[in-house]
Amino acid sequence: LGDMSIIKGDLRESEGLLACLEEHQPDEIYNLAGPSSPAASWDEVAMVGDIAGLGVGRLLDAVRNVTPKARFYQASSSELFGNPVEVPQRETTPFQPRNPYGISKLYAHWLTVRYRERYGIHALSGILFNHESPRRGDIFVTRKITRRAAEIKLGLAAELRLGNLDARRDWGYAGDYVLAMWLMLQHQPADDFVIGTGVTHSVREFCELAFARLDLDYRDYVVQDEAYFRPVEPAQLVADSSKAQRVLGWQAEVSFSELVYRMVDVDLKLLQNV
Ligand code: GDD
């Protein structure tokens, strides 16, 4: 970990947050904490609201009282747009979240903006579209695909059951998006930004590339299963990141195919080294 030290905390407890800031006096705070599955948030509404919503209020309060000069980044999400009223989505697109995850994130988003206005702290939100990497958890579709494809290649599994293969997302590489978070915090004055690639792909296209990387045809292994379908799929979630490009000089560097290949290659290696 080098110079890094890990201190455990809980967004449900103000005392711990206050003590942590008092002891460490951070210059920059990135709040990426909280449950991250929009689909699963229906099963744990109060917990999601408490951490992803109210928890951000506790943290902002601690920041303004203990480290008012610190810069604060809030992880907002394209889920704020829900079923979007315009395509592509930018900073001014109206929010209408469709699940408890998005609703909680919306509370945190507005609180961040209002703390900036009311208390003059350097707080901002990054409205990030889906960002993936080999570290992604396999409850999310990209890693579910790449891990299972690698297992199939090695004879460890026979099929991959997925939900809607025609669902589309604006998928980027997480490393590019972490750079965007950092660039946002360096910029004066504090402001909010939409971050994404501006291009969508279907789950089917992701499968096609992932299996092809392993010299397999996804049609031989992928089964569409109603159990994984979502009741409401957003029509067209796709980012307009032109403000980030103009103001921060940011744009996504890793292409869709490169992202898929990186994830597949790591999963294959991980399984071969077991
Ligand atoms: N998880 C999953 N499993 N999704 C599937 C499956 C499946 O078997 N089959 C199809 N999908 C489709 C979903 O219906 C959805 O349209 C798409 O794949 C992406 O789903 P997820 O990977 O679960 O991600 P998400 O878009 O719901 O949420 C992620 O992105 C948000 C926006 O950046 C998470 O990272 C959130 O935390 C984040 O806010």
> pLDDT per residue over 228-267, tens digit each?
998 776 678 999 999 999 999 999 999 999 999 999 999 9
Residues 1 and 230: their CA atoms lie apart, in Å, by 39
Nearest CA to ligand 1 atom 8: 162
Residues 227 and 106: their CA atoms lie apart, in Å, by 28
Q: Which two tokens stand for residue 192?
A: 């909010």
Distance of CA 182 to the CA centre of its chain: 15
* H-type alpha helices, the chain: 14-24, 45-48, 55-66, 100-119, 141-153, 174-186, 203-213, 242-248, 256-272
Across the range 6-33, mean pLDDT stands at 97
Across the range 129-133, mean pLDDT stands at 98
| CA-based nearest residue to 234, from 32, 36, 34, 38 | 38
Ligand 1 pocket by Cβ (under 6 Å) = 36, 38-39, 77-79, 128-130, 139-141, 144, 162-164, 167, 169, 203, 228, 230, 233
pLDDT, position 233: 67
> In what helix (H) or strand (E) does residue 161 lie, and over which residues does it extend?
strand 160-162
Peptide bond into 189 cis (omega under 30): yes
pLDDT, position 252: 97
pLDDT, position 118: 98
**Band of pLDDT at residue 4, cut at 50, 70 and 90:** confident
pLDDT, position 103: 98
21 CA distance to ligand 1 middle (Å): 33
**Catalytic-role residue among 78, 79, 125, 221:** 79
Across the range 126-150, mean pLDDT stands at 98
Across the range 103-126, mean pLDDT stands at 98
140 CA distance to ligand 1 middle (Å): 5
This prediction has a pTM of 0.96
Residues 44 and 242: their CA atoms lie apart, in Å, by 35
pLDDT beyond 90 at 1: no
pLDDT beyond 80 at 219: yes
272, burial (CB in 10 Å: exposed 0-12, middle 13-18, buried 19+): exposed
Nearest CA to ligand 1 atom 31: 130
Nearest CA to ligand 1 atom 18: 141
Average pLDDT in the chain: 96
pLDDT, position 33: 97
**Band of pLDDT at residue 3, cut at 50, 70 and 90:** confident
- Catalytic, 218? Answer no
Q: Which two tokens stand for residue 35?
A: 């449950």
**Band of pLDDT at residue 92, cut at 50, 70 and 90:** very high
**Catalytic-role residue among 41, 73, 78, 101:** 101
Across the range 209-231, mean pLDDT stands at 95
pLDDT beyond 90 at 2: no
- Specify the ligand 1 atom closest to the Cα of 168: 16
pLDDT, position 234: 63
